[in-house]
Amino acid sequence: MTSQITLARRRLGLTALDRARSAGGYTLFARQTGGGVVDMIDIEGRTAHQWTMPVRPGRDAVILSNGNLGYNGSHATSADLYPAWDLWHGGDFYEATPSGEIVWRHEDIYHHHDAQWLPGGNLLYTVAAELPADKAARVTGGDPRKDGADGIVQSDIVREVNRKGETVWEWRIWDHIDPADLPIHPIFDRRHWPMINGLSVTRDGLILMSLRTTSGVIAVDRASGRIVWHAGPDVVAQQHTPVEMDDGSILVFDNGNLRVGSSNPYSRAIQFDPKTMETTWDYTDPNAPSFFSPFMGSAQRLVNGNTLICESGFGRLFEVTPMGEVVWEYVIPDFAEYPAPLNQFIRGSHNTCFRAHRYSESQVPWL
């Protein structure tokens, strides 16, 4: 019987490999509809290792410096904040050994989107919190027809916890930005401003934050809480995963929804200089609209200078050279439906994953 899923009628699994120019190694990803399965594949697309975690992914899975798996799981009884909350909350964190033994767990029912496992063992992540009424009144843009009857607007706190689950640092975005200065894009509801969907830490200790509903990346000084720089919608569009490069530039997966000056959306990986806000490198498909993920996505610079890109919405993982040549490509072959109540918002069968990560043999010596 012919599959009614367009993607499933196309080539799946490993679709391209230039072994001489690829960085090689192992690629890790957690399928959003995989129910808790985390896959690690080798450069030929074969399953090298697999975990089955207790809950479906809230978002991401990574290999930690000790070789264990850090897993951002979806909390079964997460907070009920607004209708679309279940699409992006996590809140059930696990550390698991290669054999699957759970050695640490942390729960926070207000967590959503990203989390970073820090070198010292602490966990940095974003939580939703009610915006004070006077601040909520200053939220602009968005679609007022989707406002909640209670008038509550959720905002974001970035929180760091230690291994005991104790909060050791917090940063509230509304203490540092006037909501009126960052209008929500017209298509979004105003239940969550500005929705921090990505975090990372620079070599100098700045915390990079990706602002989804307003399109932007900010860098925050941890000690003072001051926003050091802000790349706005003239630089990025609905982006994810900002990461500092060796030269101080910032690599971002730029989703491309509502990009300024563009009527046809397409995604790209871009690198920009935060001092000048000028793009210093980018990858766009030669047929630009054929590479597009309207949600999620990641870009990772590899040891040989190549870039691993995750086109999340369509389960396509691929590696490009600095010149933009594809030298490896893998399309996740496993499709399934999102569980209820997510299937009210995202219908049909999907092969999505939030991010993909590439690791060298030396980073997984137990394999």
Q: Is 218 domain-assigned?
A: yes
pLDDT band, residue 44 (cuts 50/70/90): very high
Residue 211's alpha-carbon distances to 94, 113, 236, 254, 288, in angstroms, are: 26, 11, 10, 12, 24
What local confidence, expressed as pLDDT, does residue 144 receive? 86
Domain around 101: 7-363
Q: Give the pLDDT confidence of 286-316 residue by residue, as tens digits.
A: 999 999 999 999 999 999 999 999 999 999 9
Residue 67's alpha-carbon distances to 43, 64, 118, in angstroms, are: 19, 5, 14
Amino acid code (one letter) for 29: F
Q: In 237-283, which ranges are E strands?
A: 240-244, 250-254, 268-273, 278-283
pLDDT band, residue 263 (cuts 50/70/90): confident
Q: Is 2 domain-assigned?
A: no
Beta strand pairing status for 316-320 and 307-311?
antiparallel
Q: Hunting for tokens 């929705």 — which residue is that?
A: 195
Judge whether 190 and 219 are in contact, CB under 8 Å: no
Higher-confidence residue of 131 and 148: namely 131
Would you call the peptide bond into 341 cis, given omega within 30 degrees of 0 as the criterion?
yes
Work out the number of other CB atoms within 10 angstroms of the CB of residue 358.
Answer: 23
The CA radius of gyration of the chain, in Å to the nearest whole number, is 19
What local confidence, expressed as pLDDT, does residue 187 receive? 81
What local confidence, expressed as pLDDT, does residue 258 receive? 85
Q: Give the pLDDT confidence of 208-238 residue by residue, as tens digits.
A: 999 999 999 999 999 999 999 999 999 999 9
What local confidence, expressed as pLDDT, does residue 4 receive? 81
Average pLDDT over residues 23-35: 97
Q: Is 159 domain-assigned?
A: yes
| DSSP-derived 3-state class of residue 231 | strand
Annotate 22-70 with DSSP letters as a single string: S--SEEEEEETTSTTEEEEE-TTS-EEEEEE-SS-EEEEEEE-TTSPEE
Judge whether 324 and 283 are in contact, CB under 8 Å: yes
Give the whole-angstrom CA distance, residue 218 versus residue 206: 10
Q: Is 230 domain-assigned?
A: yes
What local confidence, expressed as pLDDT, does residue 262 receive? 84
Q: Is 87 domain-assigned?
A: yes
Q: What is the CATH number of the domain that holds 210?
A: 2.120.10.30
If one counts the domains in the chain, the total is: 1
Token pair belonging to 320: 């490009």
Give the whole-angstrom CA distance, residue 51 versus residue 312: 20
Q: Hunting for tokens 């030269």 — which residue is that?
A: 247
Q: Is 352 domain-assigned?
A: yes
pLDDT band, residue 282 (cuts 50/70/90): very high
Q: Is 146 domain-assigned?
A: yes
In sequence order, the 6+-apart residues with CB closer than 8 A to the CB of 224 are none
Q: Is 23 domain-assigned?
A: yes
Q: Hunting for tokens 């909501």 — which residue is that?
A: 179
